[in-house]
Amino acid sequence: MKRAMYPGTFDPITTGHRDVISRASNLFDEVVVVIMQNPNKKPLFSERERLNMINEVCKPFMNVSCTIGTGLTVDFAKQIHASVLIRGIRAVMDYEVELQQATANMILNPKIETIFLLTKPEFSFMSSSAVKEIASNKGDLRPFVPAEVLKCVQDKFKEVK
């Protein structure tokens, strides 16, 4: 059985993330979406809030589960018995960063492969940062976030104001 791990901060989960999850769920027996800490980012949503949103979005995918991870991504993948890391690539800039990360992970654990899924063109511009920028300016979020998380994002920005 092939278990893949899709790590990220998912702050918040976007329609682009959902697309990668959907496609990965068709390629692997099991996909574990893992909220990982990134010291370079200051998340707007708590880990628990992000986990709740991801769980809602992933309900239609019977072979997808969600959790919160700690430590090095490759070490957490080993801990949950995942042999593949899934990474979405939107643009050349993503590729350069992801290639460095994948190479480091190869050195840390050569048994865990990294698979890059190219983002569909309609999602290539989408990021959690863009979602937060649009939300902070009261823009229409419907094309950017799954329906299951729209209200959560809108409510969070009412709190922040």
Q: What is the pLDDT along the chain (161 residues), one digit of tens a residue?
A: 899 999 999 999 999 999 999 999 999 999 999 999 888 888 999 999 999 999 999 999 999 999 999 999 999 999 999 999 999 998 877 888 899 999 999 999 999 999 999 988 888 888 899 999 999 898 999 999 999 999 999 998 887 65
Task: Say which residues have a Cβ less than 8 Å from residue 49's Cβ, sequence separation at least 6.
Answer: 152, 156
Has 142 been annotated as catalytic?
no
Q: Which of 17, 18, 87, 132 is catalytic?
A: 17
Report how far Cα 72 is from the mean position of its chain's Cα atoms.
16
The answer to whether position 92 is within a domain reads yes
pLDDT on residue 38:
81
108 touches 72 (CB < 8 A): yes
The domain total for the chain is 1
The answer to whether position 141 is within a domain reads no
The answer to whether position 140 is within a domain reads no
Q: Which of 50, 87, 90, 132 is catalytic?
A: 90
Q: For the whole model, what pTM was predicted? A: 0.93
The answer to whether position 151 is within a domain reads no
The answer to whether position 152 is within a domain reads no
Has 81 been annotated as catalytic?
no
The answer to whether position 137 is within a domain reads no
Has 128 been annotated as catalytic?
yes
pLDDT on residue 160:
66
The answer to whether position 135 is within a domain reads no
The answer to whether position 142 is within a domain reads no
Residue 93 belongs to what domain range? 3-127
Has 124 been annotated as catalytic?
no
CATH code of residue 78? 3.40.50.620
Q: Which of 18, 50, 87, 128 is catalytic?
A: 128
Q: How far apart are CA 15 and CA 157, in angstroms?
A: 19
Q: Which of 2, 41, 81, 151 is catalytic?
A: 41
